[in-house]
Amino acid sequence: MTMSALGEPCVLLKLGEVVLKGNNRELFEQRLQANIKAALKDFDFKVDVRQRHGVIALFLPDGTTVEVADAVAERVAYVPGLVWIHRAWRVEKDPGAVTKAAIELLADRDDVRRGVSFAVRSRRRDKRFPLTSMEIDRSVGGELNDIYGLPVDLKNPELVVSIEVDRDEVFVFTGGMPGQGGLPVGTSGRGLVLMSGGIDSPVAAYRMMRRGLRVDFLHFSGIPFTTSESIYKAYALVRALDRFQGRSRLWVVPFGKAQQSIKASGQDRLAVISQRRLMLKTAEEVARRLRAGALVTGDSLGQVSSQTLQNITAQDDAVDLPILRPLIGLDKTEIMAEARRIGTLEISELPDEDCCTLLAPRRAETAAKIADLRQIEKRLDAEELAVQLAGSLQEYKLEG
């Protein structure tokens, strides 16, 4: 490919839900731009981020290679708020230059040699350009047909050559990769995720990040009665999820002695729900210190005994903060598919000694009564215990 014909490599980002925000749109766009810049901070050059109507263009320094431009595109594909990422070429606003770039773009492609069907689809955001969108399609499409002999299919083409005329330049590209969609992280406040080492809670965290929530992660360890394996696993999960928001923080509470106290209370069937309520009370205290406005769990209705409707209601009673449950209507197959897609499933399936193994009653209560749970908590002085547990909080900083 000759750089002179193709112009300069760049990345074109398409916005989704952000464009529907009316008078608040500018605030969402500013947050999204900041998140994009933060995601690219590890590159050893400055990326010029420019906002256009409905798109964001990333201009790279002179001499940037195609491989580096591809790496930039792949990195920003993890940033929520974007629906499509296109590795594009920036060419001058001249019909002849646009045609040459489109011709060069298809050179040496295997699918072109196979004779795939194609179409040219143009969008003219700058109406001052001398050709209309339809005229661009016909002009460029005719040249491509003459040179490569590809069949034209305007309804279901196998290859689409996209041309977008902007204020200062024209973008030419084929294909693209889907983004995460949703809203920019940080536009919906801050939450605290109760992060186990299982499959569900990482997916719940991801879903809330996609809705604009910046999250911290709270893990309950069985220490001193278990090893640190579950902490290492939680740490690995947070690292995997950090691609979507950056600057993630993992907090760990040693929970083993509190579990021992619950077990010693003698209420075997209520032990699991009592534990869950104490975790939530502790999380609420931690959230207060971190200024988080909600708790997030991976509960799915009816999946296990603690997640029956009555038991979920009993857990809600334990705290005043809202508990967000983004997986509530999903089954395990759906949750696993999403975990696989976002890259957390393999980590979640690693063996570890989870704190929940310390409380494994022969039969767990599926319809716990709130009054009974409050009685147990009164004997344990659960409110004070939650404050003490929050006071033992440790932060595990992500490296790099």
Domain co-membership, 135 together with 207: no
Is there a domain that residue 233 lies in? yes
CATH number at residue 234: 3.40.50.620
Is there a domain that residue 333 lies in? yes
220 is in an annotated binding site: yes
- Tell me which of 266 and 271 has the higher pLDDT: 271
Which of the four pLDDT bands, split at 50, 70 and 90, describes residue 3? very low
Domain co-membership, 162 together with 140: yes
53 is in an annotated binding site: no
Q: What is the pLDDT of residues 76-135, one digit of tens each?
A: 999 999 999 999 999 999 999 999 999 999 999 999 999 999 999 999 999 999 999 999
- 250 Cβ contact list (under 8 Å, min separation 6): 195, 216, 217, 219, 234, 235, 238, 395, 396, 398
Domain containing residue 219: 190-397
CATH number at residue 88: 3.30.2130.30
Asked whether residue 254 carries a pLDDT value surpassing 60, the answer given is: yes
400 is in an annotated binding site: no
Domain co-membership, 62 together with 158: yes
Domain co-membership, 359 together with 226: yes
DSSP state of 78: T
Domain co-membership, 110 together with 228: no
Q: What is the pLDDT of residues 337-389, one digit of tens each?
A: 999 999 999 999 998 766 555 555 567 778 989 999 999 999 999 999 999 99
Is there a domain that residue 1 lies in? no
Domain co-membership, 94 together with 131: yes
Domain co-membership, 233 together with 163: no
Q: For the chain, what is the domain count?
A: 2
Domain co-membership, 389 together with 298: yes
125 is in an annotated binding site: no
194 is in an annotated binding site: yes
Asked whether residue 146 carries a pLDDT value surpassing 70, the answer given is: yes
307 is in an annotated binding site: yes
Which of the four pLDDT bands, split at 50, 70 and 90, describes residue 312? very high
Is there a domain that residue 259 lies in? yes
Question: What is the DSSP code string of 172-238?
Answer: EEE--EE---SB-TTSS-EEEEE--SSSHHHHHHHHHHHBT-EEEEEEEE-TTSS-SHHHHHHHHHH
Chosen domain end from 153, 178, 203:
178
Q: What pLDDT is attached to residue 10?
A: 95
Is there a domain that residue 39 lies in? yes
Chosen domain end from 157, 178, 199:
178
Mean pLDDT across the stretch 302-310?
90
Between CA 347 and CA 339 the distance in angstroms is: 10
Mean pLDDT across the stretch 15-28?
91
Chosen domain end from 149, 178, 207:
178
Q: What is the pLDDT of residues 274-285, one digit of tens each?
A: 999 999 999 999
